[in-house]
Amino acid sequence: MTTIENDQKPVGHGRMLRKEDPRFVRGRGRYCDDVQLNGMLHLAILRSPVAHARIVSIDTTAAEAMPKVKAVVTGAALAEQGLAWMPTLSNDVQAVLATDKVRFQGQEVAFVVAEDRYAARDALELIDVEYDILEPVVDVRTALAPDAPVIRTDLEGKTNNHCFDWETGDQKATEDVFKRADVVVTEDIVYPRVHPAPMETCGAVADYDRIDGKLTLWSTTQAPHAHRTLYALVAGLPEHKIRVISPDIGGGFGNKVPIYPGYVCAIVASIVTGKPVKWMEDRSENLISTGFARDYIMRGEIAATREGKILAIRTNVLADHGAFNGTAAPVKYPAGFFGVFTGSYDLEAAYCSMTAVYTNKAPGGVAYACSFRITEAVYLVERIVDCLAYDLGMDPVELRLKNLLKPEQFPYTSKTGWVYDSGDYEPTLREAMRIAGYEELRREQALKRERGELMGIGVSFFTEAVGAGPRKDMDILGLGMADGCELRVHPTGKAVVRLSVQTQGQGHETTFAQIVAEEIGIPPADIDVVHGDTDNTPFGLGTYGSRSTPVSGAAAALVARKVRDKARIIASGMLEVSVADLDWVKGAFQVKGDPGKSVTIQDIAMRAHGAGDLPEGLEGGLEAQICYNPSNLTYPHGAYICVVDIDPGTAVVKVRRFVAVDDCGTRINPMIIEGQVHGGLTDGVGMALMEMIGFDEDGNCLGGSLMDYLIPTALEVPDWETGFTVTPSPHHPIGAKGVGESATVGSPPAVVNAVVDALKPFGIRHADMPLTPSRVWETMQGNHTPP
Ligand code: CDP
């Protein structure tokens, strides 16, 4: 029998390779677009060429007459079935196909179903739509002006573009602290609109069986169970007759959390034609019409003593939500977890007020590789703290060390009500300084400044809140944010664990096998991980916001412990001793004081299913199921140091070094963690230096292709230097915190702080992303304009 050797302890095993990679490196991944079914039809969507217009008429006659075309459907046709509008994940409604008006460039207007993809795309050209162009609302700063055109005329009584207001913290207490502070620093800080841009775009294959009334939907979703329930509620299909399969996913990053009109169109098309229907969007469709991220205009204010003790932080945010509020966040948190904007610091007071508005842009506000707006929050606090360091003439590291929360303050309740579970911040920052050689870097910078060279050193320290969430506080459209897990051990001691979360490339098939292996002693290679199929996995809310490890990882550990408890009773019968006389060692139960008398988990599995009696009252089989409701979020943290050089002649920023020290509590798979961090850092450098979805004054999207929306490649990033500290979560069964998004959250401020530091000789305290050569050049000339 195989047991686990000591040097291969599953959790923390540094050499454990990814179980899924043999299939990926051989090109055997099976993505949505790989699904081929007999008689399958193809769907293409006609999108609005303009940002804001009334639809006067749509003529589909020529498209319908095209050979190979099976159906052409407009918003008016959907409206007849009550399907023209659907709820968003934020309790707003969004048009599946436009009926009255188009509200952003790229909005879905009609769809064609044809025998092949080419015919479907060609037929789109024959649909004749007459638009009555309306003035678009593009600038978020003027969206609430009294004369601004009203976008959401579909909402009864709506007379402006106001979406929602939100506040957190104590306004009066914060005001009082600001009044008595020695130093107050104010800065306007923009986090521009960016896009998750996963390698695989969004798509679906819908297969409605008219005989048994069952719908099978393969779709690029990060949350198959939640999507299934919402389809049942919206379309009125019985939930047990819907099977959502999320096959291999080519990156999600929050982009695949919302339900997009394309998914609904594919379902409708399959029901109408009685055939399987595939819809796959192309790159431009993905960039111009699916969930954007960020788009916050923030005024940050920080109050401190002359000696650099931070007293309070205050912010006012203007949030651009696009044409429909498609944010994916727990219902009680319309601004996501932005409330953690007080960061990692010991403050006396904090306050945030936010106004969200509608504009003629694509909807979204998705958690792009972050836990619901934490990226924006961390960027705000880490930028404003650097502005304070600038005004005080203090080293940014010294200022942070003076204000970081101390280990004895945990669990720490922030001034906006978040309970940080655990943290030991100073060693993490000191480790980053050690790896970077911080003092030496500052000496090098001083010498270079004397020579007129532009070298910058940027620091950021972040605390994330991941693992949504306790269901008493968190739900998405009424679905509580908990996760199920089921574990079955087969008679021969092999096992299958079924998860409600869904990997999109982050290695769950390996790490969840490791968690279970650690608890029940079956080697990871003997444990299969099943996910992404609502017919074959327990209910749960899915993977986003780094919630898999904090929630589903905890579920996996606990379900394995439940199985182990049963195995102990069976072992006591096999060894004829009481359960109290058994020790659990290396995948076997041993009689206390008599190591020669033992049974392995594999022996027990066979007995659980085999002939002969089991201890009194025990059912056969070795399996368990649970639904885990976390008692709190987990709060990973990290310290990042970035070194940049700016060419004074071209203003090109080169990231020369980047040190990232992360603390995600117990580390399950160090290699996978490192991969997650490398990816997140690359994302962060992209956002800081080159990514932005911009619009012209007519509302045309200027980031509709990868020629315009730049994403970083290996050429733009350095060899990452990573390190770690370990502060386990006290409430997670194995002490693990999430890590998938830490680097995307922590790196943009480090890069921007480094660029601003390099520009210090020009008297620059702040510059907005993306720090492209032209923007840096203009900033050097004193002409910085926010995006
Ligand atoms: O929800 P998502 O999977 O995107 O994020 P995560 O829970 O932070 O996990 C990302 C990957 O890192 C998974 O494969 C985790 O199992 C792994 N991980 C780990 O090995 N140790 C941790 N403490 C946290 C995550």
> Which pLDDT belongs to residue 1?
38
Mean of all residue pLDDT scores within the chain: 96
CA of 402 to the centre of ligand 1 (A): 31
Report the nearest-CA residue for atom 12 of ligand 1: 673
Ligand 1 atom, smallest distance to 739 CA: 8
> Which pLDDT belongs to residue 16?
86
Report the nearest-CA residue for atom 16 of ligand 1: 511
CA of 371 to the centre of ligand 1 (A): 13
Residues 432-446, mean pLDDT to the nearest whole number: 98
Give per-residue pLDDT as tens, 338-349: 999 999 999 999
CA of 313 to the centre of ligand 1 (A): 31
Distance CA 753, CA 755 (A): 6
Report the nearest-CA residue for atom 24 of ligand 1: 738
Higher pLDDT, 376 or 611: 376
Residue 328 reports pLDDT greater than 90:
no
The number of C-alpha atoms within 13 Å of 745 and in the hemisphere containing its C-beta is 36
Q: Are 293 and 544 within 8 A, CB to CB?
A: no
Is 6-27+483-628's fold the same as 293-397+420-468+632-780's?
yes
Give per-residue pLDDT as tens, 279-298: 999 999 999 999 999 999 99
Ligand 1 atom, smallest distance to 544 CA: 1
> Which pLDDT belongs to residue 3?
46
> Which pLDDT belongs to residue 9?
81
Distance CA 98, CA 583 (A): 65
- pLDDT band, residue 658 (cuts 50/70/90): very high
Ligand 1 atom, smallest distance to 550 CA: 7
CA of 689 to the centre of ligand 1 (A): 27
Question: Probe ligand 1: pick from 543, 729, 739, max atoms within 8 Å of CB?
Answer: 739
Residues 85-111, mean pLDDT to the nearest whole number: 96
CA of 555 to the centre of ligand 1 (A): 14
CA of 543 to the centre of ligand 1 (A): 10
Bridge partners of 121?
none
Question: Probe ligand 1: pick from 634, 676, 734, max atoms within 8 Å of CB?
Answer: 676
Q: Which residue stretches of 61-160 are H helix?
A: 61-65, 75-80, 117-124
Looking at residue 492, the DSSP 8-state letter turns out to be T
Ligand 1 atom, smallest distance to 669 CA: 20
CA of 563 to the centre of ligand 1 (A): 23
Contacts of 617 (CB under 8 A, 6+ apart): none
Report the nearest-CA residue for atom 5 of ligand 1: 546
CA of 732 to the centre of ligand 1 (A): 13
- pLDDT band, residue 57 (cuts 50/70/90): very high
> Which pLDDT belongs to residue 13?
77
Report the nearest-CA residue for atom 22 of ligand 1: 667
> Which pLDDT belongs to residue 660?
98
Give per-residue pLDDT as tens, 126-171: 999 999 999 999 999 999 999 999 999 999 999 999 999 999 999 9
Question: Probe ligand 1: pick from 15, 16, 255, 506, max atoms within 8 Å of CB?
Answer: 506
CA of 463 to the centre of ligand 1 (A): 16
What secondary structure does DSSP assign to 423-482, as a single string? --HHHHHHHHHHHHTHHHHHHHHHHHHHTT-EEEEEEEEEE--BS---TTT-EETTEES-
Ligand 1 atom, smallest distance to 636 CA: 23
Ligand 1 atom, smallest distance to 510 CA: 14
Report the nearest-CA residue for atom 17 of ligand 1: 673
What sign for the dihedral angle of Cα 84, 88, 91, 94?
negative
Bridge partners of 226?
none
Residue 15 reports pLDDT greater than 90:
no
Ligand 1 atom, smallest distance to 508 CA: 14
Ligand 1 atom, smallest distance to 740 CA: 8
Give per-residue pLDDT as tens, 214-256: 999 999 999 999 999 999 988 888 999 999 999 999 999 999 9
CA of 549 to the centre of ligand 1 (A): 5
CA of 588 to the centre of ligand 1 (A): 28
Residues 679-700, mean pLDDT to the nearest whole number: 97
Ligand 1 atom, smallest distance to 549 CA: 7
CA of 667 to the centre of ligand 1 (A): 9
- pLDDT band, residue 8 (cuts 50/70/90): low
The number of C-alpha atoms within 13 Å of 528 and in the hemisphere containing its C-beta is 10
Give per-residue pLDDT as tens, 601-617: 999 999 999 988 899 99
Percent of the chain clearing pLDDT 70 (strictly above): 99
Residue 6 reports pLDDT greater than 70:
no
CA of 552 to the centre of ligand 1 (A): 10
Ligand 1 atom, smallest distance to 503 CA: 3
Topology of the domain comprising 293-397+420-468+632-780? Aldehyde Oxidoreductase; domain 4 (3.30.365)
> Which pLDDT belongs to residue 7?
47
Question: Probe ligand 1: pick from 19, 668, 678, 726, max atoms within 8 Å of CB?
Answer: 668
> Which pLDDT belongs to residue 12?
87
Residue 2 reports pLDDT greater than 60:
no
Ligand 1 atom, smallest distance to 515 CA: 16
Q: CA angle, 292 as apex, 751 and 55 as ends, to 5°?
A: 150
Residues 753-766, mean pLDDT to the nearest whole number: 97
Residues 456-485, mean pLDDT to the nearest whole number: 95
What Cα–Cα distance (Å) separates residue 551 from each residue in 193, 502, 707? 29, 12, 38
Every domain of the chain and the residues it spans? 6-27+483-628, 293-397+420-468+632-780
CA of 111 to the centre of ligand 1 (A): 38
Report the nearest-CA residue for atom 2 of ligand 1: 546
Q: Are 540 and 363 within 8 A, CB to CB?
A: no
Residue 779 reports pLDDT greater than 50:
yes
Lowest mean pLDDT among 3-12, 367-376, 527-536, 700-709: 3-12
Topology of the domain comprising 6-27+483-628? Aldehyde Oxidoreductase; domain 4 (3.30.365)
Ligand 1 atom, smallest distance to 252 CA: 4
Pocket of ligand 1, beta carbon within 6 A: 506-508, 511, 543, 546-549, 664-669, 672-673, 676, 736-740
Ligand 1 atom, smallest distance to 552 CA: 7
Strand pairing class (162-169; 349-357): antiparallel
Does 770 sit behind a cis peptide bond, omega within 30 degrees of 0 on the bond before it? yes
> Which pLDDT belongs to residue 236?
85
Residue 14 reports pLDDT greater than 80:
no
Distance CA 6, CA 297 (A): 52
